[in-house]
A and B are shown apart, each in its own frame.
Chain A
Amino acid sequence: MTPELIELHPLDLTLAGGLVVLLAVLAWVGRLGVTRPMLIAAARTVVQLLLVGLILETLFAHATLYWVALMGLVMLLVAGYEVMARQKRRFAGFWGFGLGTVAMFLSSFSVAVMALVALVQPDPWYQPQYAIPLLGMLLGNTMNGIALSVDRLTDGAWQQRGTIEARLALGATWSEAVESIRRDAMRSGMIPMINAMAAAGIVSLPGMMTGQILAGAPPMEAVKYQILIMFLITVGTGFGTLAAVWFAARRLFDERERLRLDRLR
């Protein structure tokens, strides 16, 4: 009784693409200055998604643990680069890239493995149809949380170096001196997820649930998956943010607990 997925034809995509071109032309006439970036981004969407579709089809055909793990590793490294690129003042050297990557590895990977092994339990547990989308959603959200919160931390430390040093000069520990900035940073990484949970279903239908319903899944099944995913994302983002901000804050100080903004660039 499950309805079949209605296949899209190339003509359907061409028509939708034509509307984007029409919008781009209007933007050009109105001198909005977004025509070029819009067309480039649209082209990137097509190329990137086609590529990933090919990769996933190949991966599904060769569902070994090694290929799935390799795919997961590539996704992690790209997310780590993305976190680094979004920092206004990032750490010099290895930690510029390593901080977010290690934190995402610790949180996203462990949450994804736990969800696969203990909760969803596909057979085998690394079955790419479940593992890759799950890891992708976890990484994507954790990446946003970490990028946002670490940027907030380093920028806050830079702006408020006077008060941090004033507290250090009066004998405060590194943790006391950076406490309020660290708390703000941690909070800023978690707020988006809390808001998403609060608004889920009322303001917006979450993307994964929408996709499952379009693919013909019964709404209640899609809802159960969506609830699970939201919880997992909250947990992954939360722990990832806590770990990244804590490590980053510690890294702003050296072994004598001096503020070392020269470690940023």
Chain B
Amino acid sequence: MREPRLRIDDLYGIVGHWPRLRLPAGACATLAGPSGSGKSRLLRALADLDPSRGTVHLDGTPREHFRGPQWRRQVVYLPADSSWWAEYVGDHLAAVEAETLATLGFEPDVAQWRIERLSTGERSRLALARAVALGPRVLLLDEPTANLDEATTDAVERVVEGRRGDGLSAVWVTHDPEQAKRLRAQRFELVDGVARERA
């Protein structure tokens, strides 16, 4: 049997415990739970941004075999609020992918835009473009559509769906059961700090 793209066995973050996940390439898992329950902390532990215990495998290779930055380039964490460090959008993009940008409602010349010109919604959409431009194997999305309207949410989902066709796996923090259905996801819920799969 093929190794799953992402495999978790008893991951303990600073807050939260994820007992078991087998996520094949191109598949999606959603993580729900009340705010403050530690969903972001679990994703940060998964991305190795916070110290954690437990075993995580990427395509059969244990996480310890990667250096920290190598791992985070493959398992990219997309936080709820994006940060930008340079003056222009293009400085942040590993590659300007016209198709992805178009789906998200941007022309390729967005690369020459100044960061300070962007609205909050534009920033979240461009943060997604920035993450997928790296070509990661797993994307950890922390409520990426919480501040977006229906049309934009749809665009974000289409970008991720498109990449899933190429084998990208996604772990998606969302409160919206409809979204979980649309994504045909394995559904997890964080209850008392433990991520349980919902039947």
Contacts and interface: CB of A to CB of B under 8 A. Distances in A.
Interface in B57-80: 67-70, 72-74, 76-79
Given A180-B85, A257-B69, A170 B51 contact: no
Contact of B83 (A163, A174, A180): A163
B70 A169 contact: no
A166 B69 contact: no
Contact of A258 (B51, B76, B78, B134): B51
A254 interface: yes
B113 interface: no
Contacts of A167: 85
Contact of B134 (A166, A170, A174, A255): A170
A170 B130 contact: yes
B67 A257 contact: yes
Nearest to B47: A169
Interface residues of B, number: 25
A168 B84 contact: no
A258 B49 contact: yes
Describe B's contact surface by its main secondary structure: loop
A171 interface: yes
A258 B48 contact: yes
Contact of A166 (B51, B82, B94): B82
Interface string A83-123: 00000000000000000000000000000000000000000
B69 A171 contact: yes
A170 B47 CA distance: 10
A180 B91 CA distance: 14
Interface in B64-123: 67-70, 72-74, 76-79, 81-85, 94
Nearest to A258: B49
A162 B7 CA distance: 28
Interface of A: 160, 162-163, 165-174, 180, 254-259
Nearest 5 Cβ contacts at the A-B interface? A171-B73, A256-B68, A166-B83, A257-B68, A162-B83
